[in-house]
Structure 1
Amino acid sequence: MASRLCAALAALLALASAPTAAGAQAATVALNDRLTGDITPVHDPVIIREGGAYHLLSTGIGEGAQGVVSARVSSDLVQWTRERPPFERLPDWASRAIPGATNIWAPDISFVNGRYRLYYAVSTFGSNRSAIGLATSATLDPASPGYGWRDEGMVLMSTPTDDFNAIDPAFFADADGRHWLSLGSFWTGLKLFALDPKTGKLLRAGEKPIPLASRPVPAGAPSIVEAPYIFAHGGYYWLLASYDYCCKGVNSTYYTVVARSRTVTGPYRGKDGSSMLEGGGTILLRADLQEKQRFRGPGHPGHFTDAAGKDYVVYHAYDRDNKGAPTLRIAPLAWGSDGWPVAQGK
């Protein structure tokens, strides 16, 4: 009798300590397969955490203010809903500087000196007459008394006389406290500018940018690389970038590469030693395998960490099962024994 009672108690304890079926399923199903809610259309996404909320900003697509710059929020990285965007319309200076521009491209968000900094691009497709602006707010929560975006104006501009394109900005503060802005699309590739930590604007006006990445091409052809993003991990600076073509729906050939450097200015090299200045790097995100072929052209990556300090890469891909709509994708990053990241459940 006692032995049977002990066995029953042991069974009950085992049942109580075992994960629920739902919990076990959530632990094994990739985050990308659990994303739900308002996750499309999302193009050029970036995520930052404030308190218990994850805020997502992306290129303006949709009606009203969402068509200027799109904004979403989540408490768990799974369920996403729309929230109030930072802008109701383009700033006046941007409309004057870039005739024909209708929305904000590729916003980037960071927390600096007690305020959130939103860097954003204004341009028209295929032109390098482009500008990057800056706006700041004390909080990202529209319900907070301190909420309110203050446009700080233009940071820099490119024109047809320049060999770069001032879009796809991404802010980074290095280990020495220096502030940087990476940017670029096509032309001669990706560039890095030094920023004034106090203002968020260029540290030295008129200074030539530092080259970050370029792809060798025939004379007169563009270098097909864009969307740089720098972050730090394990004593290295890591550069993410997108190669090939976005914005073609299911025919997009976008993919993401990663490289690292001991210094923020580079050179950035892939696992095989190849230089990003020569079209090198290590592939991090590719389209689904041929037998699946659902999410195409994964690119425009950004890096963020959750409340537990876990690394993620956020990006968009084009959903073949939804007419090629650009769709939010989030993949946890695992760091291998060789010190290199692997995107999980991409």
Structure 2
Amino acid sequence: MSQLLRLFLAIALGLASLVHSYSDPGSCTGACWAHDPSIIQRASDGKYFKFNTGTGIEIATADSLAGPWTLQGYVLASGSSIDNPGKNDPWAPDVHLVGEEYYLYYAVSEFGSQVSAIGLATSPTMQPGTWTDQGGVGVVSKKGQAYNAIDPNLVAVGSDYYLNFGSFWGDIYQVKLNSAATKATSAATHNIEYDSAGTRPCEGSYMFFYNNYYYLLWSHGICCGYDKTLPAPGDEYRIMMCRSKTATGGFLDQNGVACTASGGSILLESHGSVYGPGGQGVFTDSSKELVLYYHYANKSIGLGDGDYRFGWNVLNWSTDGWPQV
């Protein structure tokens, strides 16, 4: 092999390592278990709240993203009022401040089922015991529909509200909500992300606005059960992204491929001891930095669902305006 060819290969490998180089998750102490976490910082005192899928939706608080996190209780300790299978184990919380009240959207379903519904709980403070279950928001699915009504995410566009949702089947959909963000305005939904390949394992969408673009994130791949069956390399959870000038469609990836035509660029994937990152969201910290948060399996701790960890990173930005970890 010539010296020139060796130099070329070294440069190529170096560039490849840069492309796939990620920052490690920020530190976490205390109650750091997470599954589909939702993070919000309370404006009145700066306290951080972390909500997790599982047992009535866990509530943990901390004075810093790094913790120590303390488990405080549950949002729906007695389960949801939605009469669906899985009502005692609501999933995928998504928390926002709407007006002067905190809204937490959640899903009621069972693993692998399309019999699903999205509900809403509200609270003035987010403390345990202050949450009121408002029941369903009018977004439901049943066997044979184009979508699965789980993994809700609220998006505010001026005075309008939209709810993104979906998992497998037709992937990610969107519906417009009323002015109070409590009910769907109609049964009309539209597809904003679709991957035609394989079993279409796209779910857990999250949308945020930054520098004139709406960024759509979602989790792609197999989420769970890594301790029982390890997916083929690359088939585990990873975080994908597209962006658009509008919140309601036209999302493209970094190569200009439509998000509804199997497009999508990788924001974060397995690296080092981090395995299967997903269930993500983004929020603006009090420092005005955009923070990506997610759950992941730490290979040095364990791959079981009960071992998943809370991960977070301050986002950096490329010269062409794409987020980087």
Map Cα deviations across residues 294-323 of structure 1 (whole Å, 9 max, x no partner): 221111110111112100111011122222
2: CA distance, partners of 1:87 / 1:71: 10
Map Cα deviations across residues 214-240 of structure 1 (whole Å, 9 max, x no partner): 1113xxx63221111111000011100
2:153 corresponds to 1:170: yes
2:13 corresponds to 1:32: no
2: CA distance, partners of 1:323 / 1:56: 21
Contact 1:317 1:327 in 2 (8 A): yes
Q: CA deviation at 1:326?
A: 1.2
2:24 corresponds to 1:47: no
Which of 187, 191, 205 is equivalent to 1:211?
Answer: 191
Show the 5 A alignment for 1:1-346. 32-40=25-33, 42-50=34-42, 51-60=45-54, 67-79=55-67, 80-91=69-80, 93-94=81-82, 96=83, 98-142=84-128, 148-155=130-137, 156-174=139-157, 176-204=158-186, 206-207=187-188, 209-217=189-197, 222-249=199-226, 251=230, 253-288=236-271, 292=272, 294-324=273-303, 325-343=307-325
Map Cα deviations across residues 86-115 of structure 1 (whole Å, 9 max, x no partner): 121112x32x2x135430110000011211
What secondary structure sits across from 1:37 in the alignment?
Answer: coil
What secondary structure sits across from 1:216 in the alignment?
Answer: coil
Question: What amino acid maps onto 1:263 in structure 2?
Answer: T
Residues 100 and 304 of structure 1, relative CA distance in 2, 3 Å threshold: closer
Corresponding residue number in structure 2 for 1:12: none
2: CA distance, partners of 1:135 / 1:236: 29
Q: CA RMSD in A?
A: 1.6
What secondary structure sits across from 2:73 in the alignment?
Answer: coil
1: CA distance, partners of 2:86 / 2:58: 19
Q: CA deviation at 1:336?
A: 2.1
What secondary structure sits across from 2:278 in the alignment?
Answer: strand
Unaligned runs of 5+ in 1: 1-29, 61-66
Residues 330 and 244 of structure 1, relative CA distance in 2, 3 Å threshold: same
Q: CA deviation at 1:134?
A: 0.6
Comparing 147-156 with 266-275, greater Cα deviation is found at: 147-156
1: CA distance, partners of 2:278 / 2:184: 27
2: CA distance, partners of 1:202 / 1:222: 28
Question: What amino acid maps onto 2:192 in structure 1?
Answer: L
Contact 1:31 1:78 in 2 (8 A): no
- Aligned-residue identity in percent: 33
Question: What amino acid maps onto 1:273 in structure 2?
Answer: G
Residues 338 and 238 of structure 1, relative CA distance in 2, 3 Å threshold: same
Contact 2:26 2:313 in 1 (8 A): no
TM-score calculated relative to the size of structure 1: 0.80
Unaligned runs of 5+ in 2: 1-22
Contact 1:188 1:222 in 2 (8 A): no
TM-score calculated relative to the size of structure 2: 0.85
Contact 2:40 2:49 in 1 (8 A): yes
Bigger helix share: 1
Contact 1:118 1:135 in 2 (8 A): yes
The structure with more radius of gyration: 1
Q: CA deviation at 1:153?
A: 1.1
| Structure 1 segments (4+ residues) deviating >6 Å | none
Question: What amino acid maps onto 1:132 in structure 2?
Answer: I
Question: What amino acid maps onto 2:30 in structure 1?
Answer: G
What secondary structure sits across from 1:34 in the alignment?
Answer: coil
Q: CA deviation at 1:168?
A: 0.4
2: CA distance, partners of 1:322 / 1:103: 25
Q: CA deviation at 1:254?
A: 0.6
Question: What amino acid maps onto 2:213 in structure 1?
Answer: Y
Question: What amino acid maps onto 2:241 in structure 1?
Answer: V
Question: What amino acid maps onto 1:238 in structure 2?
Answer: Y
Contact 2:26 2:66 in 1 (8 A): no
1: CA distance, partners of 2:238 / 2:41: 26
